[in-house]
Amino acid sequence: MPLNFSTDRKPLMSFSQAGLADIVLLLLIFFLLTSNFIPQFGIQVNLPRTQASSPTAGQFVSVAITADGAFFVEQRQVSRDQLIPSIQDVLNGRDALVLRADEDAYVKDLADVASAARALNLRLLMATDQRVLSQRR
């Protein structure tokens, strides 16, 4: 006796896209929120690598030194003579300065920023990239 597997029901030709729209909306919200937490620095410097580094937040004044010796205070280029007044203009109650110096920058440039921080009674932090340590056996 042959079995009859045919049905009178028609196959489902459409499906609800509400679930897909919810997932896309949640992904959009996730990426919009997390993209605000990624710091965007427009000054390109190659930070020196160290074994440990700490994250920096918005409560620090940012000073960058490029490989060619250009100074940037909060992403605005300033001359060496205008370093202290430029930092004073953007302090707004902040008590620390983060130095993002290119690894090829001169020590004299680093010393100029350090003396400016000292003159303004600011803590000086050096931004670095964390080095991935290889295990030797």
| Residue-range domains of the chain with CATH | 49-130 (3.30.420)
Dump pLDDT digits (tens) for 13-28.
676 777 888 888 888 8
Question: Residue 63 has which token pair?
Answer: 């000073």
- pLDDT of 35: 66
More confident residue, 133 or 83: 83
- pLDDT of 17: 75
- pLDDT of 54: 53
Residues 6+ apart with CB under 8 A from 99: 63, 64, 65, 110, 113, 114, 124, 125, 126, 127
- pLDDT of 44: 64
Backbone phi, psi, residue 26, to 5° = -65, -40
Average pLDDT, the chain: 78
CA distance 57 to 44: 18
- pLDDT of 40: 55
pTM: 0.55
Per-residue three-class SS string for the chain: CCCCCCCCCCCCCCCCCHHHHHHHHHHHHHHHHHHCCCCCCCCCCCCCEECCCCCCCCCCEEEEECCCCCEEECCEEECCCCHHHHHHHHCCCCCEEEEEECCCCCHHHHHHHHHHHHHCCCEEEECCEECCCCCCC
- pLDDT of 64: 92
Residue 9's pLDDT band (boundaries 50, 70, 90)? confident
